[in-house]
Amino acid sequence: MTFVVTENCIKCKFTDCVDVCPVDCFHEGPNFLVIDPDECIDCTLCEPECPAEAIFSEDELPEGQEQFIEINAELSELWPVISEVTDPLPDAKEWDGKPGKIDLLEK
């Protein structure tokens, strides 16, 4: 099992989660973070650290977020690892909680 970054991270990209990850399984894209499912050790440390509440256990994904399992796997192979906290996107607080952001995902 792995943890999955879901839609609410899009256009927010808070990085509080990467600081607690013991295996550096987070990867950073232009406006989204993903978790490498092959590296995640299911330690649960990242989930409570996410201010946007965008990280879920693979088997506890909210309805409609299942596509993010594949998105995390695919993009973790393309994007670089991030292991240190950085500033969120400038308008992250405005985007936090807005539904329907999947079309805004920059790959």
Residue 87 resides in a domain = no
What kind and span of H or E run contains 27? strand 26-28
Residue 78 lies in a domain: yes
Q: Whole domain around residue 54: which residue ranges?
A: 3-82
The answer to whether the CB of 94 falls within 8 A of the CB of 13 is no
The per-residue pLDDT for range 4-61, each reduced to its tens digit, is 999 999 999 999 999 999 999 999 999 999 999 999 999 999 999 999 999 999 999 9
**46 backbone dihedrals φ, ψ, rounded to 5°:** -75, -35
Q: Does residue 67 surpass a pLDDT of 90?
A: yes
The count of domains in the chain is 1
Q: In the predicted model, is pLDDT for residue 70 greater than 90?
A: yes
Residue 99 forms part of a structural domain: no
What are the backbone angles phi and psi of residue 26, rounded to the nearest 5°?
Answer: -85, 145
Start-to-end Cα distance in the chain: 24
pTM above 0.95, yes or no: yes
Rounded to the nearest angstrom, the gap between the alpha carbon of residue 29 and the centroid of all alpha carbons in its chain is 10
Task: Note whether residue 23 is domain-resident.
Answer: yes
90-105, pLDDT tens digit by residue?
999 999 999 999 999 9
